[in-house]
Amino acid sequence: MAENDFPFPNDDKEHFPWEDVNNSRKDKRLQKRHSVTEAKALYMTKDIYCPGCNKPVDELEWFYFSSLKWTWQNLCGSEGWMVVCDECNKQVNYFAIVIN
C-alpha cells in the first residue's frame, strides 16, 4: 500500500460528504486538469475492489477530488484521486495527492 493510499474500511460511513464528492466529480475544469489514465497507471492495483459488490477496480469510477475552500483555509484540505462504486454508493479508496 502506498503512503498516500487511504483504503476505506468495509463500513457504511461516508468518509467525505457525498455533496462535496459529487461537486468535485462534476467540476469539469478540475477533472480536465487531471488525467484518469495516469492515475490508474500509478495507483490501480488488483487489491482494490468494492467491499459491497466485489466489483473489480477497472469497473469502478475514478475522478479527482478536492475538498471545499473552507477546509484549505482551516488547514484541513485534501485533494487526490477518489475511487467509488456507483452501484453500491460507496467511497472505495482515496489517493491523497495534496494535504494541508
Report how far residue 83's alpha carbon sits from residue 74's, in angstroms, rounded to the nearest whole number: 25
pLDDT of residue 70: 93
Instruction: With H, G, I as helix, E, B as strand and everything else as coil, classify residue 25.
Output: helix
pLDDT of residue 5: 58
pLDDT of residue 1: 45
pLDDT in tens, the chain (100 residues): 444 555 555 555 568 999 999 999 999 999 999 999 999 999 998 889 999 999 999 999 999 999 999 999 999 999 999 999 999 999 999 999 999 9
31, 21 contact by CB (below 8 A): no
Measured CA to CA in angstroms, residue 64 lies from 11, 53, 54 at distances of 22, 23, 22
pLDDT of residue 7: 56
pLDDT of residue 13: 57
CB-neighbour burial class of residue 13 (10 A; exposed 0-12, middle 13-18, buried 19+):
exposed
Length of the chain: 100
CB-neighbour burial class of residue 96 (10 A; exposed 0-12, middle 13-18, buried 19+):
middle
